[in-house]
Amino acid sequence: MMQKTPPHHLKSSLNTIPEGVKRVHLIAVCGTGMGALALMLKEMGLEVTGSDDGIYPPMSDLLAQNGITLLQGYKAEHLGDADLVVVGNAIRKDNPEALALGERGLPYCSFPEAVAGFFGRGKRTVVVAGTHGKTTTSSMMAWVLEHAGKDPSFMIGGVLQNFSRNCKVGNGEFLVVEGDEYDTAFFDKGPKFLHYDPEVTILTSVEFDHADIYEDLADVMGSFRKFMGRHRPGAAVVAGPGANVAEVTADAPCEVFSYGLNGEPLWRSEVLTATAPATCFRVFYNGDLYGEYTLPMPGGHNVENAVAVIAACHRLGLDRREVADALASFKGVRRRQEIRGDVGGILVMDDFAHHPTAVASTLGAVRSFYPDRRLVAIFEPRTNSSMRNVFQDAYAKAFDAADLVCVRTPPHPEKVPHGERFSSDTLVSALSASGKDAHRFPDAGAIVDFCRANARQGDLLMVMSNGGFEGIHGRLLSMLEARQAEGEKAGGDA
C-alpha cells in the first residue's frame, strides 16, 4: 500500500494557525526550541502534548513539571485529538506521526510558523540573525526590554541568566526571536527566519556554516539575501561588520544601520577597558558621542553585540539611559563564557563555540579578561560542520590565544563521509608545528585524566562544544575537588 505524506503546508505562517486551537501536539518536543515552544503554548492556556524518541532530563523534567504530557517514541496514536500539530525539523517525512498527518488530514505547521502565528501577531518583532552572536545578542535585547518595563515575549536558543529560561510569554508589545538560518522542516527546506516579519532585524555576521545543508558561502548568503529582501519598507536592519553582511543587505527595501568597532559605521564603538569583571566602552552615532557603557562580559565581539542592541533600541524609541542600565546588569547566557566553578584557583568555563571564528573570538576575549592565567582550550568538534574537513585549516589558526590545547576526536565520525571528515590528529599536528602545546584525546575521560596530571593553580580550563561533551564540566570540577582533598590530606599526614 502506498504510504501517504502530509500535503503541502501553507506558506504564510499567519494562515497556518487555525482559529479556536485548544489542543496542540509537538513532534520532537524535547529539542531546545520545541520544548520552549511547548512551555509557551502551555503558558497561553492550551492543552499540550509532545512525543520524542529521546525523552530525558533536564528537558523532560521541565516539560512534565509544567503539565505537558510526554509520549515516548513516535506512533500515529500519539496525535490524539490535536487541533494542530507542530513538526520539528528533526522529523523525516517517513516518521509514523508525519505519515498519520496526511492520512487524517490534520492541520500542521513548522516550529517557526507556530512561533510567528501564535506569538507574532500584532507584535513589534525583533529578529536577531547571523552566523555568530545571535543567542547572546537576542538575550541582551530581551533583557533590555524587560528592564525597561516593556514585558516582552521572547524565544531564544539559550538560557538567559537574568530569567533562568529561554522563553517567555509577555503582555507587552515586543517579541524577540533568534532567527535561525537552518532549514525549517522536511516539508519546508527554507531557513526558519523566513517565517518572521520583523520591525527590526539585527544581522550580526554572515559566514559559511551548516555544511550539511549549505553547499558553500554563496549558498548561505543567498538565504540571508532572501531574508533581507523580504523586509517591509518600514522595517530596519541593524547590520554588523564585514563585506558579506554589507553585500546581503545592499538591496534591502528598508533602512539599514551599520555598526562595528572598526571603519566608519553609523554606530561605532570604542573599547576603553577590558579586564574582569567588565568591559567599558563608548559608542558614537554618526560621529557624535552617544554614550558610555559597562558590560559584564569579555571581548570585542560582545561589545559589538551590545552596540547592535543599542542601535536597535534607538530605532525602537527606548531611553538610552535605561538601555545602559540594562546592559550593565546583563548576566549573560548559559554556555556562553559561563563560569562553572573555581577549585583551588583553577577556573572551569563553558562556551558554545564550535565554528573557527567563534573559537578564536571566545579564546581572544577570555585571554583579554584573564591575562595572567594559563589558558587551556578543551575543544570538541561535534557539529555537522565541525566534523567535516571544510574548516580543517581554519581551526589551525583559531587557537592562537590558548597556551595549551586539548582536542577530542569527533564523537560520531560515521555521520560524515570518510573523505570529508575532520581530523583531530591533523589539527594537533598543525598546532604543534606552529609551536603550540596541543594534544589529541579519544574522549572526555582521557582529557579529565590529562588535566588531573597537568592542571595547575591559575589555569583557566575553557571547554568549547555545542553539546554535553560527556559531562566534562562536572567531571573536571569533581576531579579538581578530589585532587585538592587528596593534597590536603597528604599535607595533613605529613
Give the whole-angstrom CA distance, residue 288 versus residue 301: 22
pLDDT value, residue 134: 87
The whole-chain average pLDDT of the chain stands at 88
Residue 9 has pLDDT above 90, yes or no: no
- What percent of the chain stands above pLDDT 90? 58
Tell me the mean pLDDT in the region 5-12.
42
Between 46-50, 166-170, 414-418, the lowest mean confidence (pLDDT) is in: 414-418
Give the whole-angstrom CA distance, residue 310 versus residue 324: 8
Among 223, 204, 203, residue whose Cα is nearest residue 214: 223
Residue 387 has pLDDT above 90, yes or no: no
User: Model confidence at 335, in pLDDT bands (50, 70, 90)?
Assistant: confident
Residue 11 has pLDDT above 90, yes or no: no
Residue 8 has pLDDT above 50, yes or no: no
Residue 477 has pLDDT above 70, yes or no: yes
Residues 278-291 have pLDDT tens digits of: 889 999 999 999 99
Residue 173 has pLDDT above 80, yes or no: yes
Residue 383 has pLDDT above 60, yes or no: yes
Residues 296-316 have pLDDT tens digits of: 887 778 899 999 999 999 999
- What percent of the chain stands above pLDDT 70? 95
